[in-house]
Amino acid sequence: MKMHQVPVTTMGSGSELSLCIHEIEGKLGDGPTVGLSAGIHGDEYTGTQILIELAKMLSDGNFRGRLLLLPVANPHTLEALSRETPVDRLNLNHVFPGDTHGWFTEQLAAAITHSFLKEIDIFIDFHAGGASPTVDYVYIFNDEALSRSFGSKILHVPPPEVQDLLKHTSVGVAQSLNIPSVVVELGGGRIDQTDYVKRGIWGALNLLKTANVLDADPEPVPDQIVVGEIATIRPHHGGLIYTEAPPLGEEIGDDAVLGRILNPYTFEELEVIRNPFKRGIMILSHVTVNVVPPGTYGYMVGNMDSQII
């Protein structure tokens, strides 16, 4: 396994900022170059843990083709445990393909586009719920078989208006280059990530089997639900969020309570957050009591009446 340091810039502190890309060459013959990335948002480090373990498991090169692993796409956000880059307060996944003459985050996106995205044939990008919420689903973009092979129960085909918003993400660039792409949303929150890391490893390996990178038949996946509509419900008030919704992957009924926002100073109930669908399924939730600001990710619910066969 080789590690490439891709220079990006010199920071105001005088330190050099580089991207660390790990390259593993397969020993079983020709095959695609598979790019796996994580850490576009620094508070979503479950994917980074998954890539660390995958690198250990695949370091012997017992596969076809080549792997490129980018475990931390935005080092400054990881250090700050933030979605936005502290240097310029921009969200890296909103500025692709980047600009070599732009803001720092745009320069970083340009480096990732040039040194990583344009070097790969298959793309797997790992995200998570963040510092407080936990999430569990996979997008279907331009290769349904690969997305399904990851094994998540819930998958989402974004409608055209959402696809249009994704043009400035890393997966948007990959799709523009006709690269089969899978975005995994898995884990996060103030809980032990062990089970999610194990699932991420299993899913990535099964995806590599499906792509004929690993010399083994793909494992069967459980029954899956594909939804065409997901609602993101954001609280109007800040405070402590108390969840009453069922666990992720379970259905929730019409107008059922997802959670409540309480004022930690006055103990007043500020808001009751409800399921907007007649039949919903839980996709993102706060599985512990957390402090939340208004407008943050409260819950994500899939519309079961938007299922795609």
CB contact set of 188 (below 8 Å; sequence gap of 6+): 43, 44, 46, 128, 129, 130, 131, 132, 133, 134, 135, 196
Which of 191, 225, 259 is the endpoint of a domain? 225
At 77-118, the pLDDT tens digits run: 999 999 999 999 999 999 999 999 999 999 999 999 999 999
Whether the CA torsion 157, 295, 248, 150 is positive or negative: it is positive
Contacts 24+ apart (CB under 8 A), 190-199: 190/131, 190/132, 190/288, 190/290, 191/134, 191/287, 191/288, 193/46, 193/49, 196/46, 196/128, 196/136, 197/46, 197/49, 197/50, 197/53, 199/151
For residues 265 and 193, state if they share a domain.
Answer: no
pLDDT confidence of residue 180? 98
Distances (CA, A) of 214 to 25, 26, 282, 290, 305: 12, 9, 33, 41, 37
First to last CA, the chain: 41
Domain CATH number, residue 114: 3.40.630.10
For residues 285 and 212, state if they share a domain.
Answer: no
Give the domain extent around 236. 230-306
Alpha-carbon span 97 to 16, nearest angstrom: 22
- Helix (H) and strand (E) counts in the chain: 7, 17
At 54-64, the pLDDT tens digits run: 999 999 999 99
For residues 141 and 173, state if they share a domain.
Answer: yes
At 125-156, the pLDDT tens digits run: 999 999 999 999 999 999 999 999 999 999 99
Asked if residue 309 has pLDDT above 80, the reply is no
At 205-232, the pLDDT tens digits run: 999 999 999 999 999 999 999 999 999 9
Which of 177, 193, 225 is the endpoint of a domain? 225
Report CA 87 to chain centroid distance, whole Å: 22
pLDDT confidence of residue 164? 85
Specify the DSSP element, H or E, that contains 299: strand 299-303
Contact status, residue 204 vs residue 186, Cβ threshold 8 Å: no
At 294-307, the pLDDT tens digits run: 999 999 999 999 99
For residues 191 and 266, state if they share a domain.
Answer: no
Alpha-carbon span 185 to 41, nearest angstrom: 12
For residues 193 and 272, state if they share a domain.
Answer: no
For residues 182 and 51, state if they share a domain.
Answer: yes
Size of the chain in residues: 309
- What is the chain's mean pLDDT, rounded? 97
pLDDT confidence of residue 1? 87
Alpha-carbon span 279 to 252, nearest angstrom: 6
Read off the pLDDT band of 163 (50, 70, 90): confident
Contact status, residue 254 vs residue 180, Cβ threshold 8 Å: no
Alpha-carbon span 107 to 46, nearest angstrom: 25
Q: Which residues pair with 182 in a beta bridge?
A: 124
For residues 164 and 295, state if they share a domain.
Answer: no
For residues 275 and 244, state if they share a domain.
Answer: yes
Alpha-carbon span 73 to 8, nearest angstrom: 12
For residues 12 and 161, state if they share a domain.
Answer: yes
For residues 68 and 196, state if they share a domain.
Answer: yes
Q: How many domains does the chain have?
A: 2
For residues 259 and 282, state if they share a domain.
Answer: yes
Interhelix angle for 194-210 vs 46-58, to 10°?
Answer: 50
Question: Could you say which DSSP state residue 307 is in?
Answer: B
For residues 171 and 280, state if they share a domain.
Answer: no
Q: Which residues pair with 291 in a beta bridge?
A: 240
Alpha-carbon span 255 to 227, nearest angstrom: 19
Which of 176, 204, 225 is the endpoint of a domain? 225
Report CA 156 to chain centroid distance, whole Å: 13
Domain CATH number, residue 287: 2.40.50.100
